[in-house]
Chain A
Amino acid sequence: DAGITQSPRHKVTETGTPVTLRCHQTENHRYMYWYRQDPGHGLRLIHYSYGVKDTDKGEVSDGYSVSRSKTEDFLLTLESATSSQTSVYFCAISVQEQGGGYTFGSGTRLTVV
């Protein structure tokens, strides 16, 4: 998707290991979001950011932390991965200052074994 990339695209990790997912944007947008998508649950908000070093929790933030030291990068960290965190993770940016639509990345498929 134009302007937003997620890495890695796929990852398999062991229970108890730390994992960091990266979201990178090239368009200097202020608002960035992390969602997870699971069958039967749709998309659920994990954390979001409204500027450098400004982040807040979403609906399912337990077990996750985020950091935003630069406008273009929003990192999602699983401090100690669990099998329940096996999911597809999507990053999104808001193309307007609040209230508008989002542009999504292509997702990271994370499997915790």
Chain B
Amino acid sequence: SQQGEEDPQALSIQEGENATMNCSYKTSINNLQWYRQNSGRGLVHLILIRSNEREKHSGRLRVTLDTSKKSSSLLITASRAADTASYFCATYNQAGTALIFGKGTTLSVSS
């Protein structure tokens, strides 16, 4: 069963706008990760945030983590057409042996 669930399922914005997608999870975590998947390709690891971190930045990406609410958000600033992709959050299963992925948010950025 899914550990994380992304919201919204789909998001359409214009170039230059910011895109925010959210992830909720069910059990305690050591870290939470975000991945991007371009159409027809494998997933690419974007960023990892540890349970003792509240915010992390990487280029135009900003990830926040609220362990009290069991939620995370991924913000992409100044979106570009090349950001069009599906974005997934992932956390480790209870045994800590494998990542469990949400169903993803499909982001469409139009120029």
Q: Name A residues whose Cβ lies closer than 8 Å to a Cβ of B.
A: 1, 33, 35, 40-43, 45, 48, 50, 56, 58-59, 90, 92, 98-107
Q: What is the minimal beta-carbon distance from B23 to any residue of chain A, in angstroms?
A: 12
Binding site for A on B (CB under 8 A): 1-2, 30-31, 33, 35, 40-45, 48, 88, 92-93, 96-104
Number of A-B contacts (CB under 8 A): 53
A58 CA / B97 CA spacing, docked (Å): 10
**What residues of chain B lie closer than 8 Å to A92, measured between beta carbons?**
43
**What are the nearest 9 A-B pairs in CB distance?**
A104-B42, A42-B103, A101-B45, A43-B101, A104-B43, A106-B42, A48-B98, A42-B101, A45-B98
Q: Given the known inter-chain contacts A98-B96, A98-B97, A100-B48, please indicate yes or no for A42 contacting B102, CB distance below 8 A.
A: yes
* Known contacts A40-B103, A42-B88, A42-B104; A99 and B30 CB within 8 A of each other: yes
Contact of A33 with B30 in the complex, beta carbons under 8 Å:
no
- A99 near B31 with CB under 8 A, answer yes
* B residues less than 8 Å from A100 (CB atoms): 48
Contacts of B103 in A (CB 8 A): 40-42
Find out whether the CB atom of B2 lies under 8 angstroms from the CB atom of A33. no
